[in-house]
A and B are shown apart, each in its own frame.
Chain A
C-alpha cells in the first residue's frame, strides 16, 4: 500500500499542476475554505435530520421533508468536497496520501457515506406523518457522530502523520 501510494506521490510531484498550485500561495487556503463551507452543508443536514428525529428541532416539517430538503445540497456538496479534496492532494500529495490519519479519514468517509445514503433513502420513502422509530433516530445520531469523526480526522491531518 505504502509503495503504491509513494508511486502516486512521486507521479504527482512531476505534474506541472502540482507546482502551479504549490507556488500560488492562495490556492490551498481558498480551496480549504470551500471545503469547510461544503462540510458545513453536509454536517448541518445530518445534524438537523438527527435533531428532527429526536423532535428537538424543525417541527414544522416531517423527517421525510427535511431529508428531501437536504438531499440535493448534500449530494452537490459531496461532489465539491471530492473535487476540493483532490486539489489538496495534488497540492501536497506526501502530506495527504502518506498520512495514516488521511487514510483513516477516507475509510470513515466511505462508511459514513454508505450509511448516510441508506438513511436518506429510507427517510424519503417514509410517510410524512410517520414518527421516527428508535432505529432511525439512532442511525441519524450515528451519522452525525461519524461526520464529527471525519471532520476531526480532517483537521488532524495537518498535525500528525
Chain B
C-alpha cells in the first residue's frame, strides 16, 4: 500500500521534474528554509511572551492575533515546499530516520499548540494584560521552542544523511 503510494509520488510529473531539473530542488529548498525560518522566528516571539522572558508588556492574546497569521502563512509555505521536496525522492525521505523524527516533532508541536489553545487560552486562564502568565502557558512556550529547534536540527540532519534525489 505505502510502496504503491511512494511509487506514484516519485513517478508523478512533479516528482520527476524536481528530481531531474538542475535548479528546481535548490530553489524549492531555499523557499522551504525561508519558510521554516519565519515559522520559528515568529512563533518564538509568542513563546517568549508565554514564558515571560520577553515582551511582558504586550498583551499575550493581542500578540498571538498579530503574529500567528504570519506563522501560519509561513507554515503553509513550508508544508507545500516540503511536500514538493518529498516528491523528488519519496523512498529516500520515507526511510530516513531524521525525516521521520522531523514529522513526529511537527505533530508534537501541533499537539502542544492545540492543547494550549483548548485548555489554557479558551479556558480563560490567560489574562490578556501585562505581566507573567500561568504555569501552563509557560510550559507550552518552552515546549514549543524546544520542539521547533529540534525540527530545524532534524531538517538539517536530513541533508547530511541522504542524497536529495
| A binding-site residues for B, Cβ under 8 Å | 25, 28-30, 32-33, 36-37, 39-41, 43-45, 47-48, 51, 57-61, 69, 73, 148, 151-152, 155-156, 158-160
Contact = CB atoms under 8 A, between A and B. Distances in A.
B62 A40 contact: no
Interface stretch (B4-12, B34-42, B87-95, B116-124): B34-42
Contacts, number: 84
Nearest to B71: A44
Nearest to B37: A40
Contacts of A151: 30, 33-34, 37
A60 B37 contact: no
Q: Tell me whether chain B's interface is mostly helix, strand or loop, or mixed.
A: helix
B152 interface: yes
Contacts of A43: 34, 37-38, 41
Interface stretch (B13-21, B53-61, B104-112, B135-143): B53-61
Nearest to A59: B66
A40 B37 CA distance: 5
Interface of B: 26, 29-30, 33-34, 36-38, 40-42, 44-45, 54-55, 58-59, 62-63, 66-67, 70, 149, 152-153, 156-157, 159-160
A40 B153 contact: no
Given A37-B40, A45-B41, A48-B42, 18 more contacts: A29-B157, A33-B153, A36-B152, A36-B156, A37-B152, A40-B41, A40-B44, A43-B41, A44-B37, A44-B44, A47-B42, A59-B66, A73-B54, A152-B30, A155-B29, A155-B30, A156-B30, A160-B26
A42 to B, nearest CB: 8
| Shortest Cβ-Cβ A-B pairs, 7 listed | A44-B41, A40-B41, A33-B153, A40-B40, A159-B26, A40-B37, A29-B156
Given A37-B152, A156-B26, A48 B38 contact: no
Among B29, B37, B66, which residue has the most Cβ atoms of chain A within 10 A? B37
Contacts of A158: 26, 159
Given A44-B38, A47-B70, A28 B44 contact: no
Contacts of A160: 26
Nearest to A28: B160
